[in-house]
Chain A
Amino acid sequence: MNRTCAVLSRTLSLAFFVPLAILPLCGQQSQPLSAAAIPQDQLIRPDQLNRELQSHNTPLILQVGSRILFDEAHIAGAEYAGPASRPEGLALLRNRVANLPRQRAIVIYCGCCPWDRCPNIGPAWHLLHQMGFTHLRVLYIAQNFGADWADRGYAVEKSE
Chain B
Amino acid sequence: MSQVSRSSLRIFVLTAAMLSILFVARAEQSLVDKRAPDFSRSDLQNARIDLAQYRGKVVLLNFWATWCGPCRLEMPRFVQWQKAYGPQGLQVLGVSIDDSVAPVRPFVQKLQVNYPIMMGDAQLSDLYGGVYGVPVTFLIDRKGIIRARYDGEPDLGALESEVQKMLSAH
Contacts and interface: CB of A to CB of B under 8 A. Distances in A.
Interface in A146-160: 146-147, 149-153, 158-159
Given A83-B99, A152-B24, A73 B132 contact: yes
A144 B151 contact: yes
A116 to B, nearest CB: 9
A97 to B, nearest CB: 20
A68 B118 CA distance: 14
Contacts of B133: 69, 111-113, 143-147
Contacts of B122: 68, 71-72, 158-159
A145 B67 CA distance: 16
Name the residue among A68, A73, A149 with the largest chain B CB count within 10 angstroms. Answer: A68
B33 to A, nearest CB: 20
Interface in A99-153: 111-114, 117, 119-120, 143-147, 149-153
Q: Interface size class for chain B?
A: 20 to 34
Contacts, number: 85
The CB with the most chain A CB atoms within 10 A, among B26, B28, B65, B99, is that of B99
Contacts of B130: 72-73, 146, 150
Contacts of B28: 146
A16 B119 CA distance: 49
Contacts of B99: 66-68, 83
Nearest to A152: B24
Contacts of A120: 67
B24 A66 contact: no
Contact of A72 (B25, B69, B125, B151): B125
A85 B26 contact: no
Given A69-B132, A113-B134, A119 B26 contact: no
For the complex, would chain B's binding face be called helix, strand, loop or mixed by DSSP majority?
loop
B152 interface: yes
Contacts of A114: 70, 152-153
Interface in B110-144: 120-122, 125-126, 130-134
B125 A144 contact: no
A124 B125 CA distance: 25
B132 A145 contact: yes
A71 B26 CA distance: 17
Contacts of A73: 130, 132
Interface of B: 20, 24-26, 28, 65, 67-70, 97-99, 120-122, 125-126, 130-134, 151-153
Given A113-B133, A117-B69, A151-B26, 20 more contacts: A66-B67, A66-B98, A67-B99, A68-B97, A68-B98, A69-B131, A69-B133, A72-B131, A85-B67, A113-B68, A114-B152, A114-B153, A117-B68, A119-B67, A146-B26, A146-B28, A146-B132, A146-B151, A147-B133, A159-B122
7 contacts: A68-B122, A68-B125, A69-B97, A83-B99, A113-B133, A144-B134, A146-B130
